[in-house]
Amino acid sequence: MNFTIKHTSPTTAAGRSVTRTFGAALLLAALGLTQPVLAEQANAVSLNAIDAAAQQLDVSALQQQTNQAQDDYLFAYAQYRLAVTASVRADEEVMKPALTAAVDRLAGLLQSEPAAELKVEALALLALSRGLQAGYSPIKGAYYGKLSNDALAQAMALQPTNPRVQLAAAILAFQTPTLFGGSKKAVLTHANAAIAAFAQPCQHICWGQAEAYIWRGLAKAEAGDKAGAKADWTQALQQAPNYGWAKKLLKDA
């Protein structure tokens, strides 16, 4: 299936109330151009470059990727990964503008009425972006949290079997305090669903498989299943051999 992604001007949007947590998930664009095969190959290269930079916390490389992004979704994904990396480095001066750029571009993309599958991917990425944004917004956190919940609910209603939708649900369930509806049991449920969905063939937007094992491992670790957690982090490293977070988790386990 081909997608046509329109370039749009940024619009404002808001996010989700969550605790600050190391790491976060990620998404990427699929293009339907006049040469769809070449477009998909170019997208795959960009996705791999963004993921490789994010997995090694390479801010400079991620900033370069945001400058090279050729469509709205790809731009938003690169900005989201840059924001997550900056949050890990406790660099709010980089993180906050990156999040704003991601959510604004996603809002514009969604307003352009994209193809159904791209809409689902954009909603899942928006939910994650708003979630992270809310974790650093004490005053507007609850408001951003509602917008994040709304975006995730829309994505789930449209395509509950999408692996990135389930991964987003797992990440947000992990990050959200229990008082506000967070649940480690829900993390396991959604991470299991994501991992199962990743087993299906993927042609367009295909990021997130290694990250799903990270979050499931974190939930297992909190539940006392240390062996299960280590097995998941090992699997994440098999999926992405240079994944710095997986290496650190295994080293500290």
Q: Whole-angstrom Cα distance, residue 37 to residue 147?
A: 35
- Residues 155-171 have a mean pLDDT of 98
- Say if CB 58 and CB 85 are below 8 A apart: yes
| DSSP alpha helix (H) spans, 56-91 | 59-68, 72-88
Residue 29 has pLDDT above 90, yes or no: no
Close Cβ partners of 63 (under 8 Å, ≥ 6 residues apart): 82
Judge whether 152 lies within some domain.
yes
| Confidence class for position 168, pLDDT limits 50, 70, 90 | very high
pLDDT tens-digit series, residues 109-131: 999 999 999 999 999 999 999 99
**Residue 15 included in any domain:** no
The length of the chain in residues reads: 253
More confident residue, 33 or 119: 119
User: 23 falls in which pLDDT band (50, 70, 90)?
Assistant: very low
Is residue 21 situated within a structural domain? Answer: no
Please check whether residue 224 lies inside any domain of the structure. yes
Instruction: Give the C-alpha separation, 63 to 41, whole Å.
Output: 21
Compute the distance between CA of residue 67 and CA of residue 162 in angstroms, rounded to an integer.
Answer: 28
Can you give the pLDDT at residue 119? 98
Is the residue at 81 inside a domain?
A: yes
Q: Is residue 31 in some structural domain?
A: no
Q: Above 50 in pLDDT, residue 19?
A: no
- Give domain status of residue 177, yes or no: yes
| Per-residue pLDDT, 47 | 82
Give the model confidence (pLDDT) of 44-54 as tens digits: 448 889 999 99
Q: Is the dihedral of CA 219, 127, 55, 238 positive or negative?
A: positive
The burial class, CB within 10 Å (0-12 / 13-18 / 19+), for 251 is exposed
Q: What is the pLDDT of residues 124-160, one digit of tens each?
A: 999 999 999 988 888 888 899 999 999 999 999 999 9
Q: How confident is the model at residue 31 (pLDDT cuts 50, 70, 90)?
A: very low
**Is it the case that residue 204 has pLDDT exceeding 90?**
no
pLDDT band at 43 (very low <50, low <70, confident <90, very high): low
CATH number of 239's domain: 1.25.40.10
Structurally, the chain folds into a number of domains equal to 1
Q: What was the pLDDT predicted at 214?
A: 98
Task: Calculate the average pLDDT of the chain.
Answer: 84
The pLDDT value recorded for residue 46 is 82
Domain span at residue 210?
A: 36-252
Going by C-alpha positions, the residue among 34, 59, 15, 78 that lies closest to residue 207 is 78
Query: Both ends of the chain: CA-CA distance in Å?
Result: 42
Torsion angle, CA of 233/239/242/247, rounded to 10 degrees?
10
CA 151 to chain centre: 13
Whether the predicted pLDDT of 10 surpasses 70? no
Residue 173 in any domain: the answer is yes
